[in-house]
């Protein structure tokens, strides 16, 4: 059985110049990233992604966050380990006029959106492998979190798309980080 190693570095930030994900040494790197929110007991995973270019992908994410296409959590509640959604996200809205909803809510939510973006601590593990392998690893981490850590997946929405299930590659994923990321096992079967 082969081994793939991931070391998550960070946390990086959207807004903090001193640890900006847009200016870090991995800005143009391929890999796996984790959006986390720091709680009183460690970093809770909020989103798991893969990318061929760390900064470029996060520019796309930032546009979607600022455009309210993505859902937004109440930050003080998230830091307490509770998922309280203040905006579901345009992609989730099923109303026939979601733009009207967006325009009505945008002004009310603007400061909460900035607070939410500022609360995201992003970890990145460089991984120069094929896109399908990155997606499989992304999915394996997501399935492991969802299936094995019900208490730690509280900020990881059930409707987050998760790719390939673990166990198909006959490899072992070895994960390290200098920070305590809750629900992230040191080893996962791929």
Domain residue spans of the chain: 2-189
Structure tokens at 162: 């998760």
pLDDT tens for the chain, 190 residues long, are 689 999 999 999 998 888 999 999 999 999 999 999 999 889 999 999 999 999 999 999 999 999 888 999 999 999 999 999 998 887 777 766 667 766 777 888 889 999 999 999 999 999 999 998 999 999 999 999 999 999 999 999 888 878 766 667 788 999 999 999 999 999 998 8
Q: Percent helix, strand and coil across the chain, each rounded to 5?
A: 35, 30, 35
Strand 2-12 with 171-177, pairing: parallel
């Amino acid at each position: 059985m082969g081994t793939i190693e991931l070391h998550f570095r960070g946390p990086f930030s959207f807004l903090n110049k001193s640890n900006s994900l847009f200016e870090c040494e991995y800005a143009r790197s391929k890999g796996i990233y984790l959006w986390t929110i720091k709680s009183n007991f460690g970093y809770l995973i909020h989103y798991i992604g893969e990318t061929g270019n760390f900064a470029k992908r996060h520019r796309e994410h930032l546009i979607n966050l600022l455009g309210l296409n993505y859902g937004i959590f109440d930050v003080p509640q998230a830091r307490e380990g509770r998922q309280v959604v203040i905006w579901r996200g345009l992609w989730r809205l099923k109303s026939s006029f979601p733009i009207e909803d967006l325009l009505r809510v945008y002004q009310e939510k603007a400061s909460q959106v900035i607070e939410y973006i500022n609360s995201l601590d992003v970890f990145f593990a460089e991984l120069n492998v094929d896109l399908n392998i990155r997606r499989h690893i992304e999915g394996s981490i997501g399935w492991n979190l969802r299936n094995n850590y019900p208490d730690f997946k509280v900020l990881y929405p059930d409707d987050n798309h998760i790719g390939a299930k673990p166990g198909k590659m006959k490899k072992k994923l070895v994960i390290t980080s200098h920070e305590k990321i809750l629900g992230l096992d040191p080893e996962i079967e791929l």
